[in-house]
Chain A
Amino acid sequence: AQSVTQLGSHVSVSEGALVLLRCNYSSSVPPYLFWYVQYPNQGLQLLLKYTSAATLVKGINGFEAEFKKSETSFHLTKPSAHMSDAAEYFCAVTPSSGGYNKLIFGAGTRLAVHP
């Protein structure tokens, strides 16, 4: 069965510091991978997605993620954190075969950004 592991339920960084949120997946077939973000009182918003094209994927708000098949990882990074990045982040996977989006989510990582 597929699964997604997000290392660290809480991550705290200083404003301007590097943001690194870790995601590892298990999948029997090459997957599609996603990062979603949830700001307070809002829905899940897509940050970026990997669909077997370029392994380095750029998303919104300066975030990017790199698909590493050998490490079964899809870590999310941002060079310089902003206070507005404080939110909960979810990594998700769906098999590229299947025909529809039955997303499997990780448990989420709450990012805190302090001055």
Chain B
Amino acid sequence: EAGVTQFPSHSVIEKGQTVTLRCDPISGHDNLYWYRRVMGKEIKFLLHFVKESKQDESGMPNNRFLAERTGGTYSTLKVQPAELEDSGVYFCASGRGGSGANVLTFGAGSRLTVL
């Protein structure tokens, strides 16, 4: 099966601009997650979709971040306006439903650099 696809792989923007990151999960995976790694620190949870619904968005830093998953397929994460501290690598992961230790499949990440 195809893996989790993210693009762009790298985006360089100036402070105040807008960037939209996209994630295509594995087909049939209802669960989609966004994570972020800033400056070589821990990878931190941002939010979780089950199909098109936001299950948990407790990790979203502030209201400059907007995530959507229309139709329960691909997801976008928009940062508007971007700030310097938003630089980092944004990972998307998908998994099947149900409880337990379901394995998440991660994408290669989208590296965001805000100048």
Q: How many chain B residues have a CB neighbour from A under 8 Å? A: 29
Interface membership of B95, Cβ < 8 A: yes
Complex Cα–Cα for A94 and B31 (A): 15
Interface residues, chain B, with chain A CB atoms under 8 Å away:
3-4, 31, 33, 35, 40-45, 48, 50, 55-56, 91, 93, 95, 99-109
Write the A62-101 contact mask toward B (1 if CB under 8 angstroms, else 0). Answer: 0000000000000000000000000000101010101111
Please determine whether A41 and B42 come into contact, CB atoms closer than 8 angstroms: no
Q: Which residues of B contact A51 (CB under 8 A)?
A: 100-101
Q: Which residues of A contact B48 (CB under 8 A)?
A: 100, 102
Complex Cα–Cα for A85 and B4 (A): 23
Please determine whether B107 and A43 come into contact, CB atoms closer than 8 angstroms: yes
Q: Give the residue name and chain of the A residue nearest to B43 (CB).
A: A105
18 pairs, CB–CB < 8 Å, chain A vs chain B: A9-B40, A32-B100, A36-B106, A42-B108, A43-B3, A43-B4, A43-B108, A43-B109, A44-B91, A46-B104, A49-B103, A51-B100, A90-B43, A101-B33, A101-B104, A102-B33, A104-B42, A105-B35
- Contact partner, B44, options A36, A94, A105, Cβ 8 Å: A105
Give the bracket for the number of chain A residues in contact with chain B.
20 to 34
Q: Which residues of B contact A94 (CB under 8 A)?
A: 101
Please determine whether B55 and A100 come into contact, CB atoms closer than 8 angstroms: yes
Give me the 6 closest cross-chain CB pairs, A-B, nearest first.
Answer: A44-B106, A32-B101, A105-B43, A43-B106, A51-B101, A43-B108
